[in-house]
A and B are shown apart, each in its own frame.
Chain A
Amino acid sequence: MYGLGILRGMAVTAKHFIETYIDDIKWMSRGGRYYNDEALSVRQSLKGTGAITVNYPEEKLPTPERFRFVPFLVTDDPPPGQMWGHDWCTSCGICAKVCPPQCIWIVRGKLPNGRPKPEPEEFYIDIDICMNCGYCSEFCPFDAIKMDHDYELASYDRTSAHIHDKARLSKPLSYWRELAPQKSAAEEAARELKASTKGKRRSNDDDTPQPTLSEEHQQDLYYQGAYY
């Protein structure tokens, strides 16, 4: 029959329409359709039926650990009364060299006697150019630069606000642990492993197996931790 295809299609639309409202009503009684993390996590998943719109900015989807947006610098947890602690960055320059759009500028620190100091004097990232590729954190040998999850960086002034300096970039280690608990734990394990095997010569007749990272930790790291 001519027009049957259209009617069938309409039935599908009606089904979605009804499902959406059933879902809305169902979650209304369980903490509300809006501002309800549990509802969001179910309705956005494979189990979700009907259609849902996440009402950004009131509602936000959680970001996974590997999410990457504009980098930040990791420092030690700050001593009381200070904003941040000792820089992990040694100003080795790998991030500046590998950065595809070349948005990182580093001024290497100098000791009074003129020799290089393993700490950056200045560190700038032009976030207008940054393409969020994550190479800097991927190839940093000291875990000193990490990708942030804060994606709300719009501002009225492009010329000054979008060049992040060292003060703006530095964030304490506790912030990173909060952001990516699994990944930061894996990184700590990898660093410890590296420190424990460092300096020990491997002999060929040594049968004791080399200590390796656990599988869960490997899964959380870039290249399964092969870069450490």
Chain B
Amino acid sequence: MQLVLEYFELILFVVLLALGYSVGRVREKRHYQSIRRREAELAGVLAFGIRFPPDPNAPRECVLVTGSVVVSSDYFKQFVAGLRTLIGGRMAAYETLLDRARREAMLRMKADAVRHGASLILNVKFESTNVGGGMRGGVPAMEVFAYGTALKPAPAPREAPRAA
């Protein structure tokens, strides 16, 4: 017990690291499962970076669709990334985090398109913003925002009422 109290700070660090690693791994695995499942479900909604529809003359309605996600790093990733900043190289710890964020934002945008009855999104763009105070002091957290123009078929024109 005395030993625990004496080296409490070090023990706390190891516990937080182990917790970050184990919980982070489980959550990441589940999130990827969910992403893959929903990507298959929404495979019918197509999203592209092109600015003009393939058939520009077809009558369509345009709707702005968006998908946003905020992700935070866990203690383990943060620590490994901190070590990596000292010597450089591929920051693998954050690659999966941001990959998940981008794909999740895209899925949410596609879900938005489905709500509007659209199955084609053009001019898709991503924005990302640091919201966690950055590497110094705060916990690294990012917002990834996907947006685009969803096209849906224009409703059939109503027939004008006939004169009596």
Q: Do A and B bind each other?
A: no
